[in-house]
Structure 1
Amino acid sequence: MAVSVFAVALAWVTPAFSNALMLLTDRVNFIPRESSIWTFEPYEINQGSSNYWLYGEDAHRYYYFVYTPDEPYRSIAKRNQCAGFDKRDVRTWCAT
């Protein structure tokens, strides 16, 4: 009983359950190496036939899904000096 309550509480307070489901349902999905299944939270999902994340975040960084062999994603610190920065528009992400 206690294990069940703990598992439900863990699923409620962390994105681990939804991330695990995301990883299991679509082979394209992954968690950025700077983040973890416990902290990564997608905030924009592709609305096509695949449900992979386009933008995500954790406590310290924002991520954009690029999905090219040499650069599968881009990331930027939440504390950045980009003029006109918009976390939902990778074109505003400056090199930091």
Structure 2
Amino acid sequence: MKNKGAPARISKWVVVAAVLVLLAITNLFSNAFMMLMDRDNFIPAQSSIFSFEPYEINQGSSNYWIYGQDRKNYYYFSYESPSPYLFISKSNDCPMFNRQDYTTWCTAQKGSAQ
């Protein structure tokens, strides 16, 4: 008689391994944790929970992102209610562009509220 439980056990381990790899190679866990800890945090509509990476975080009482990036864009959290963030393509032609100074973002676009 064959052991019918072995393939089910192997497939469970494959699923567990796939989830661990997904958590390790994406920003899913850190972004989900960030949004759970502070309800004002959000992922820009042009990005995703898998690829958005905050690279400057407010150090005050709230830990929201100030600047972030993904594969295509840079983002700045502007605090303005109709357009809470700005974004610009990583392949922009702005003279003196500085990813940590939104005033140098010559072609920035406004992101819409979620």
Amino acid at match of 1:74: L
Provide runs of 4+ in structure 1 moved above 6 Å: none
> Which residue is equivalent to 1:12?
24
How many residues were matched structurally?
A: 96
CA RMSD, aligned part only?
1.0
Aligned-partner Cα distance in 2 for 1:36–1:93: 22
SS of the equivalent of 1:21 reads helix
Query: Identity across aligned pairs (percent)?
Result: 53
**Are 1:85 and 2:89 counterparts?**
no
Give TM-score, length-normalised by structure 1: 0.95
Structure 1: give runs of 5+ residues left out of the alignment.
none
Give TM-score, length-normalised by structure 2: 0.80
Aligned-partner Cα distance in 2 for 1:4–1:54: 33
Aligned-partner Cα distance in 1 for 2:64–2:20: 24
Amino acid at match of 1:82: C
Larger Rg: 2
Structure 2: give runs of 5+ residues left out of the alignment.
1-12, 109-114
- Cα deviations across residues 28-74 of structure 1 (Å, max 9, x unaligned)? 10000000001111111000011100000010000000121111000
Aligned-partner Cα distance in 2 for 1:30–1:2: 31
2:75 to 47, 63, 87: 63
**Are 1:29 and 2:41 counterparts?**
yes
Aligned-partner Cα distance in 1 for 2:45–2:23: 21
